[in-house]
Amino acid sequence: MTFNAYTAPTVDRAVRALVAVTAALVAVATAGATEARAAPVAAVQPVSLGFTTMSGTTSETKQVTVANHGDATLGIAIIRLADANASSFSLSGTGSCTEGTLLAPSASCTIAVHFAPQRQGTHNATLRIESNARATPDVSLVGVATPAPVARVRPASLVFSAPTGTSSDGQKVTLSNEGGATLGDIGVTVIGMNFAITASSCGATLAPGDSCIVTTSFLPTAVGSGYSATLRFSGNDPLSPTQDVALSGTGTAVGQQSPPRPADPTPTPAPDRDDDGVQDVLDSCPAVAGNRQNGCPSLLKADIRGRWRVNDRLSQLVSLTVVAPTGSRIVLSCMSEKKGACSFRQRIVRQTTRRITSLTRNFKGRRLLPAGTTIVVSVTRSRYRGTYERLLTRTESRLPRVINRCLNVEGRVQRCP
């Protein structure tokens, strides 16, 4: 009996201890299971974005929201644009999501995207977000680039002469729409004194392929040659919203006779043989090498634009475009001593109805070019002196070296005058 009376409390304490240990183990196991289940969950809205704008312009900015629906911190590692037309879209700095952003549970941030096409048509790309979540949805980007108007004014300058107090004969300037959309919001005005618009066939709009004429005259108030003004054309051309024609004039004395001709007079200007829209001294250039049809060829106005990302070893071509008149011939060449650096040797593009041409698509993959790669772009047009640009990629995080030259009408590279 003494033994039983002694052991009963001991057994009871042992049972209580066992129950307590078991409960603690269950609590620890439950806590471990809960911690193991904690994870970030990335949600993206919307999963597709659509844009529409004219080629050569930038669309409105649209937002993508990234939210953390999990119960652990979401870390955003990479935000990038992928696929063939990625260069037509850009990430705007107005978004709050950046690479390295940490989102607590229930928090969110935004990514801002806009569409800036350089050619007409439909552009598809993907906004890709990489994070520490098990899966992060991609965002499909679709942009439609509509045709744009392309305004061209010829000639670029007019020179007048008239007796003081007498209006000169009118001279004409032609405004043409060489684009694929209606040129609208057309405005024509003279900035300056002593020049005036005396006639105009230009209305508020101009259909693709059409042209109109503005006639300007000069009225000097004193003898002298210091008269100047600007004839300004404006419209909705996204690349050239305004174009100017330089006006200059000389006032002569009333009744003043023309100076006597020299013994060996200069030739009378021939018809408009250099196709610059005006009869001037260039039309009577001597027929020598480098000239055609006995006229001096005008310089082709072509603008070659390249965007790059560089590091210590490689140069990544973001975009390469050419702005040139319709009818131009563009030759693109790529050369490198490293095998496989260039996916092509030469491409020829004919400028047809647009003034903006993208050459980026000729470079495959991520367009990573090692140092020493040479890219040559030449732009030519019949009876014009062409444009030539050579780009040489370099190391040490330096942008490619750019060499600009001109081409004579026979295609030979020469220094620009």
Query: Is 331 within a domain?
Result: yes
Q: Which pLDDT band holds residue 13 (cuts at 50, 70, 90)?
A: low
Do 239 and 321 fall within a single domain?
no
Q: How far apart are CA 181 and CA 94, in angstroms?
A: 31
Query: Is 353 within a domain?
Result: yes
Distances (CA, A) of 149 to 85, 258, 311: 23, 45, 38
Mind listing the pLDDT tens digit for each residue in 299-326? 777 888 888 888 877 888 988 888 888 7
Do 183 and 243 fall within a single domain?
yes
Q: What is the DSSP letter of 292?
A: B
Is the bond into 155 cis (omega within 30 degrees of 0)? Answer: yes
Mean pLDDT, all residues of the chain: 80
Q: Taking residues 252-279, what's their average pLDDT?
A: 50
Distances (CA, A) of 213 to 85, 178, 195, 312: 40, 15, 16, 55
Query: Domain range spanning residue 318?
Result: 299-414
Q: Taking residues 249-265, what's their average pLDDT?
A: 61
Whether residue 289 has pLDDT greater than 60? no
Give the residue from 113, 19, 12 showing the smallest Cα distance to 65: 113
pLDDT of residue 119: 80
SS (H, E, C) 261-276: CCCCCCCCCCCCCCCC
Q: Taking residues 294-298, what's their average pLDDT?
A: 55
Do 354 and 313 fall within a single domain?
yes
Q: Taking residues 115-125, what's their average pLDDT?
A: 87
In the β-sheet with 74-82, what is the strand arrangement from edge to edge? 48-54, 139-146, 121-131, 74-82, 102-103
Q: Taking residues 196-204, what's their average pLDDT?
A: 93
Give the residue from 229, 226, 185 showing the smallest Cα distance to 204: 185
Query: Is 186 within a domain?
Result: yes
**Cβ–Cβ < 8 Å for 93, 63:** no
Query: Is 25 within a domain?
Result: yes
pLDDT of residue 367: 86
pLDDT of residue 291: 42
Whether residue 277 has pLDDT greater than 60? no
Do 233 and 172 fall within a single domain?
yes
pLDDT of residue 28: 41
Q: What are residue 80's DSSP bridge partners?
A: 128
Number of domains in the chain: 5
Which of 279 and 385 is assigned the larger pLDDT?
A: 385
Query: Is 260 within a domain?
Result: no
Q: Is the pTM of this model over 0.85?
A: no
pLDDT of residue 195: 94
Do 140 and 159 fall within a single domain?
no
Q: How far apart are CA 173 and CA 354, in angstroms?
A: 22
Whether residue 46 has pLDDT greater than 80? yes
Do 52 and 81 fall within a single domain?
yes
β-pairing verdict for 48-54 and 139-146: parallel
Q: Which pLDDT band holds residue 41 (cuts at 50, 70, 90)?
A: very high
Domain end, chosen from 89, 111, 146, is at 146
Long-range pairs for 170-173: beta carbons < 8 A, 24 or more residues apart: 170/198, 170/199, 170/215, 170/216, 170/217, 171/215, 171/216, 171/217, 172/213, 172/214, 172/215, 172/216, 173/213, 173/214, 173/215, 173/216, 173/231, 173/245
Instruction: Determine what percent of the chain is predicted with pLDDT higher than 90.
Output: 36
pLDDT of residue 124: 92
Query: Is 126 within a domain?
Result: yes
Query: Is 259 within a domain?
Result: no
Do 186 and 115 fall within a single domain?
no
Give the residue from 303, 269, 276, 241 showing the smallest Cα distance to 157: 276
Mind listing the pLDDT tens digit for each residue in 396-413? 778 888 888 887 766 677
Residue 258, both tokens = 């023309």
Q: Which pLDDT band holds residue 265 (cuts at 50, 70, 90)?
A: very low
Q: How many helices (H) and strands (E) does the chain have?
A: 1, 28
Q: How far apart are CA 205 and CA 270, in angstroms?
A: 34
pLDDT of residue 12: 57
Q: Taking residues 164-179, what's their average pLDDT?
A: 91
Q: How far apart are CA 397 and CA 209, in angstroms?
A: 45
Q: Which pLDDT band holds residue 57 (cuts at 50, 70, 90)?
A: confident
Task: State which amino acid sits at residue 158.
Answer: L
**Cβ–Cβ < 8 Å for 117, 55:** yes
pLDDT of residue 295: 46
Whether residue 191 has pLDDT greater than 90? yes
Do 409 and 304 fall within a single domain?
yes
pLDDT of residue 140: 94
Mind listing the pLDDT tens digit for each residue in 339-395? 888 888 888 887 655 567 888 888 888 888 888 889 999 888 776 778 888 888 887
Whether residue 283 has pLDDT greater than 70? no
3-state DSSP assignment of residue 111: strand
Q: Which pLDDT band holds residue 297 (cuts at 50, 70, 90)?
A: low
CATH (domain of 119): 2.60.40.10
Whether residue 19 has pLDDT greater than 60? no
Do 237 and 155 fall within a single domain?
yes
String of b and e for 135-168 (b: at least 16 CB within 10 Å)? ebbebebbbebebbbbbbbbbeebebebeeeeeb
Do 93 and 181 fall within a single domain?
no
Q: Taking residues 282-294, what's their average pLDDT?
A: 45
Residue 396, both tokens = 């040490």
Q: Which pLDDT band holds residue 113 (cuts at 50, 70, 90)?
A: very high
pLDDT of residue 278: 47
Whether residue 50 has pLDDT greater than 90? yes
Do 99 and 164 fall within a single domain?
no
Whether residue 117 has pLDDT greater than 70? yes
Q: How far apart are CA 286 and CA 280, in angstroms?
A: 14
Query: Is 360 within a domain?
Result: yes
Q: How far apart are CA 202 and CA 173, in angstroms?
A: 11
Do 334 and 399 fall within a single domain?
yes
pLDDT of residue 290: 44
